[in-house]
Chains A and B, each alone.
Chain A
Amino acid sequence: MNIDVGLFNYWVVVFLMVAGLYTVISRGHLIKKIIGLNIFQVSVFMLYITMGKVSGATAPIFSETATAYSNPLNSVLILTAIVVGVATTAVGLALAVRIQEAYGTLEETEIIEMDGGE
């Protein structure tokens, strides 16, 4: 069955990007913002890996029976990006814990109010 996937992958990537962006700018809870940031990061990973796939090819590990290989360069870039993403998330969560200890809440509006309403 040969369905032409066409641009469906890219549209899902755009949807995830927009969903992550909306979560970061509209939700007030700091940890929800971090989750939104993670969704945004995953959408970018999906974009790169989708570009790297070659139809009829196999994973970029040398084997005798393979005729064509998918692009290894995209995998390398995204491997780095995933690890940097989890590092950023860890530091962000540590900051959220300290903010909770200092202000007693993680809602952005309440924190701004406590700081003097600017």
Chain B
Amino acid sequence: MKGHDILRVTAKALIPLILLFGLYVQFHGDFGPGGGFQAGVIFAAAIILYALIFGLDEAKEAVPPRALELIAALGVLLYGGVGIVTMVKGGTFLAYNALDPAHPTHGQHLGILLVELGVGLTVTAVMCAIFFAFADRGRRS
């Protein structure tokens, strides 16, 4: 799609805005609709748009598939890690109150932030990796 100037210019203007909106949705999930899943999908949509307009190879250079596999696993590890940390600090698995025994609600905030971050990382990486897998298979045929 490199020859289509309108698409190229519009995508260049929109992709940073989509990424910014994804970050907004990720961290404002506490105050409005949003959270990890929605933000992950929006991030992935921006990367897929980049791949569609500028080419799969450029997209794979910007976001290497090896890194995607790593980030996907890292997200789940972060989520489980928060659970293990709460157990180490004396609570039960995923009892965020134990993260900050003096102020339980601060512990809840921290726990929810980390957990949603883990979910967002995993969903972004998984959606991009699946798209790259399909696109690669299609290109070889």
Contacts and interface: CB of A to CB of B under 8 A. Distances in A.
Interface of A: 59, 61, 79, 83, 87, 90, 93-94, 97, 101
A97 B130 CA distance: 13
A59 B31 CA distance: 12
A59 B46 CA distance: 28
Interface of B: 31-33, 37, 123, 126, 130, 133-134, 137, 141
A97 B137 contact: yes
A101 B134 CA distance: 13
A97 B133 CA distance: 11
For the residues of A in contact with B, the DSSP-based class is helix
A106 B101 CA distance: 58
A83 B37 contact: yes
A13 B35 CA distance: 28
Given A90-B130, A94-B133, A101-B141, 12 more contacts: A59-B33, A61-B31, A61-B32, A61-B33, A79-B37, A83-B37, A83-B123, A87-B126, A93-B134, A94-B134, A97-B134, A97-B137
A83 to B, nearest CB: 6
Contacts of A59: 33
B47 to A, nearest CB: 16
15 contacts: A59-B33, A61-B31, A61-B32, A61-B33, A79-B37, A83-B37, A83-B123, A87-B126, A90-B130, A93-B134, A94-B133, A94-B134, A97-B134, A97-B137, A101-B141
A83 B44 CA distance: 14
A83 B119 CA distance: 11
A83 B134 CA distance: 19
Contacts of B141: 101
Contacts of A87: 126
A45 B126 CA distance: 23
A92 B95 CA distance: 36
A10 B139 CA distance: 44
